[in-house]
Amino acid sequence: MNKLDNLEFIKKLDCSNMLKFISDLPEQCRDAYAIGKSININKPAVNNIVFAGVGGSGIGPDMVRVYLGDELKIPVSICRNYTLPDFVGERTILFCSSYSGNTEETLSCFKQGLKRNAFIITMGSGGRLKELSSKNSSTHISIPPGYPPRTAIGYMSITVLGVLVKLGLIKDKENDVKELFSILTDVRDKEIGFSVSMEKNISKQIAVKLYKKYPIIYGTADTTEAVSNRWREQIAENGKALSSSNTLPEMNHNEIVGWRFPENLLKDFKAIILYDKDDHERTKERVRITSEIIKKSGVEVMVLKKDNGGRLARIYSLLYIGDFVSFYLAILNNIDPTPVETIDYLKKELGKI
């Protein structure tokens, strides 16, 4: 039996049960929407929305930004830094997202938002952010505790949809979220979950192909940009492996030329392209041609698209495939996927300054 189908082998490595955290995404998304819609909040005068968050607390809002690209009628941006953009002011809705509640970049943005009289909404499981939010009478959304931050992607994204509906900025998404739950459950149980054997499991098959290789993941600006970044982040945090991500059509104007050198390293590369039927027709053609160009370099290209359901379900299905790929890659690397010791060390060193 191969190790990805061997539950006893996986249990010995997966000491903190990352498999369960990843497997619970459908239920998390279902519950998250209800949390978002349950808050008591009135719509402010608003010109723009800024999401302040990093890591697992930043990628969730970015998924929302890309998903709602055709629906939101005001500018939306993501701030992954200590400093807010200068345009943030009293007509800005500032979402400060930190699952732990103690992320220093997000706390910095919260304090700046207060000084600029932004309309602040905080989101997390507790910590200093919740304390500051309560002290300053900002709206706080409590997320269930106990998750490694990167596994709370459903809470840190779908909750936001509920809030935006409550604010009257987007149409109701209840049917979309119900469909999301149903389709993600099917994808997990029939395509990518542990109980699906290697011969039928696309995530296990991709993980085997990526083992001891350098993946480069491409998304599309219209639909899968954030998904490709999520793949990169999960491969790093769970699989403890490096990868890169970029976006079409942008990479067609620079990076595509680089698929020639260094020749001796190209044999260790794998390319993955994630796209969707809602992409611009010219972008779809670019996906096809880009795949052909990379293949000429002798590099295998995996092109992934999901067809079931609406846009929300399709892009989260691609995200879900990547989450399981990163878990299986950790198992192939013989390492516990949960600990992020390098991040812990970095925070410890910063704490000394």
Per-residue pLDDT reduced to its tens digit, 286-307: 999 999 999 999 999 999 999 9
The residue to which tokens 């013989």 are assigned: 334
How long, in residues, is the chain? 353
The residue to which tokens 């998750």 are assigned: 147
* Catalytic residue list contains 237: yes
**Ranges of the chain with pLDDT below 70:** 1
CATH 2.40.100.10, domain 17-171, yes or no:
no
- Among the options 237, 240, 270, 306, which is catalytic? 237
Task: Name the CATH superfamily housing domain 3-12+181-332.
Answer: Glucose-6-phosphate isomerase like protein; domain 1 (3.40.50.10490)
Dist. CA 160–CA 209, nearest whole Å = 35
Q: Enumerate the domain spans of the chain.
A: 3-12+181-332, 17-171
- Among the options 20, 277, 295, 347, which is catalytic? 347
Kindly report the backbone phi and psi dihedral angles of residue 131, in degrees, each rounded to the nearest multiple of 5, phi listed first.
Answer: -60, -45
CB count within 10 Å of CB 352 equals 5
* Catalytic residue list contains 347: yes
The residue to which tokens 């830094």 are assigned: 81
DSSP state of 198: G
**Tell me, what's the pLDDT at 43?**
84
**Tell me, what's the pLDDT at 115?**
97
Q: Do the beta carbons of residue 326 and residue 231 sit within 8 Å?
A: yes
The residue to which tokens 């290209």 are assigned: 301
94 - beta bridge partners?
A: 50, 120
**Tell me, what's the pLDDT at 42?**
85
C-alpha torsion sign, points 279, 223, 49, 31 = positive
**Tell me, what's the pLDDT at 268?**
97
CB count within 10 Å of CB 218 equals 30
Strands laid side by side in the 214-220 sheet? 244-248, 214-220, 269-274, 300-304
Strands (E), the chain: 48-52, 76-79, 92-97, 119-124, 139-142, 214-220, 244-248, 269-274, 300-304
Q: Is residue 309 classed as helix, strand or coil in its secondary structure?
A: coil
Q: What share of the chain is helix, strand, coil (3-state, %, to 5)?
A: 50, 15, 35
* Fold agreement (3-12+181-332, 17-171): yes
Kindly report the backbone phi and psi dihedral angles of residue 201, in degrees, each rounded to the nearest multiple of 5, phi listed first.
Answer: -105, 110
Q: Is residue 152 classed as helix, strand or coil in its secondary structure?
A: helix
Q: DSSP labels for 49-77?
A: EEEE--THHHHHHHHHHHHTTTT--S-EE
CB count within 10 Å of CB 277 equals 11
Question: What pLDDT digit, counting tens, does each position of 232-287 carry?
Answer: 999 999 999 999 999 999 999 999 999 999 999 999 999 999 999 999 999 999 99
* Catalytic residue list contains 284: no
**Tell me, what's the pLDDT at 145?**
96
- Among the options 73, 115, 212, 253, which is catalytic? 253
